[in-house]
Amino acid sequence: MEFSTYSRKKISLLIVPGPHDVGSAAAEIIKNTLKKKSRCVLGFATGSTTVPLYRELVGLYKRGVISFRDCICFTLDEYRHLPPIHRRSLRHFMEKNLFSRVDIPRENIHYLNGAADDPERECRAYGEEIRRAGGIDVQILGIGFNGHIGYNEPGSSRLSRTRMVMLSEETRARLRPLFGQTGPPRYALTMGVATILSAKRILLLAAGRDKSRVIDKALREKPAGDLPASFLQTYPGPITVILDTQAARLLPH
């Protein structure tokens, strides 16, 4: 199904019954991409929405349907000051849910080091690594309740590149239960909006009633920095939005 948005002619929209189906539908697209091009550069997002996708990819790998042997992978973002082994780091999330369970060669796994001494240099180097890999073939995205993509919080520019950002109060409030006494991180390193939009293909995933308002705004309102996900409407390449029926409930059918 194709869907008209405020500023972009068409977005491919796939509406599936539930969160698990969002993962299976995205896994199917990645499977087909890997079948066509085994030396594929994949950009991965974290968050609960992506868990069924990674479970599905691990299943496909274990059944011998796909291999990540020739893949190069980039993780979208990371909390500042968390070492990669920290159990709340986004690197740890990716290791636990995907990287340690499939055959991606270690040297092909790229991530932002939140504990880097010089975060600016770290971010610049990450941009370079993406360029050296030939750019991202498929970028997976979730969406935050306030419309962030990666950790491009409201106020982010369409032209932003990989950089250190301050997390919004809303985001920190949602993270608070996960971080206990130490409190949630104040900063993160994230691929920028322009970095994300330079991927060759984008898959945006969302599930649950709680995401319906932000999805509706992101796809139908005029693109603006106060809702960074709305910049996806300005993306020139193929974009597939996979939603469960709850997340899609406010979109016109």
Place of tokens 């600016």: 120
State the CB neighbour count (10 A cutoff) for residue 85: 10
DSSP bridge pairs for 202 = 139, 239
Tokens representing residue 76 in the block: 């979208």
**What is the smallest separation between the CB atom of 130 and ligand GLP, expressed in angstroms?**
16
151 binds ligand GLP (CB under 6 A): yes
Q: What number of chain residues touch ligand GLP (CB under 6 A)?
A: 13
77 binds ligand GLP (CB under 6 A): yes
Q: What CA–CA distances, in Å, run from 239 to 8, 66, 221?
A: 11, 23, 17
Strands (DSSP E) contained in the chain are 2-3, 11-16, 41-44, 72-75, 77-79, 109-110, 138-141, 163-166, 187-190, 201-206, 239-244
Would you say 44 or 61 has its CB closer to ligand GLP? 44
3-state secondary structure of 45: coil
48 binds ligand GLP (CB under 6 A): yes
Among the listed ranges 114-122, 124-132, 142-150, 244-252, the one in contact with ligand GLP (CB under 6 A) is 142-150
Would you say 41 or 206 has its CB closer to ligand GLP? 206
Would you say 66 or 206 has its CB closer to ligand GLP? 206
Which of 18, 47, 59, 135 forms a contact with ligand GLP (CB under 6 A)? 47
What are the catalytic residues? 77, 146, 148, 153
Which residues make up the interface to ligand GLP (CB under 6 A)? 45-49, 76-77, 142-144, 148, 150-151
